[in-house]
Amino acid sequence: MAWRCSGSSNAALIDNMWRHGLITDPAVKAAFERVDRAHYAPVSPYDDSPQPIGHAATISAPHMHASALQHVLPFLLPSARRPAPRVLDVGSGSGYLTHVLAELVGERGLVVGLEHIRELRDLGEENMRKSEGGRTLLEGGRVKFRVGDGRLGLVEEARRGEEDGGTRWDVIHVGASAKEVHTQLLDQLKSPGCIFIPVDDDEVGYSQHIWRIEKDAAGKVTKHCLFGVRYVPLTDAPRGS
Q: What is the pLDDT of residues 14-67, one digit of tens each?
A: 999 999 999 999 999 999 999 999 999 999 999 999 999 999 899 999 999 999
Q: Are strands 169-174 and 208-215 parallel, antiparallel or unpaired?
A: unpaired
| Domain-located, residue 58 | yes
| Domain-located, residue 38 | no
Range of the domain at 84: 50-229
Q: By percentage, how much of the chain surpasses pLDDT 90? A: 76
Which CATH number belongs to the domain containing residue 82 in this structure? 3.40.50.150
Q: Which of 9, 49, 60, 131 is catalytic?
A: 60
| Domain-located, residue 110 | yes
Record the pTM.
0.92
Q: Are the beta carbons of 30 and 69 closer than 8 angstroms?
A: no
| Domain-located, residue 182 | yes
Q: Are the beta carbons of 184 and 157 closer than 8 angstroms?
A: no
| Domain-located, residue 9 | no
Whether 60 sits among the annotated catalytic residues: the reply is yes
Which comes out higher in pLDDT, residue 179 or 127? 127
| Domain-located, residue 10 | no
| Domain-located, residue 16 | no
Beta strands in the chain, from DSSP E residues, in sequence order = 51-54, 57-59, 86-90, 110-115, 143-147, 169-174, 189-200, 208-215, 221-229
| Domain-located, residue 102 | yes
What pLDDT, on a 0 to 100 scale, did the predictor assign at position 239?
54
CA 113/CA 49 separation, integer angstroms: 21
Total domain count for the chain? 1
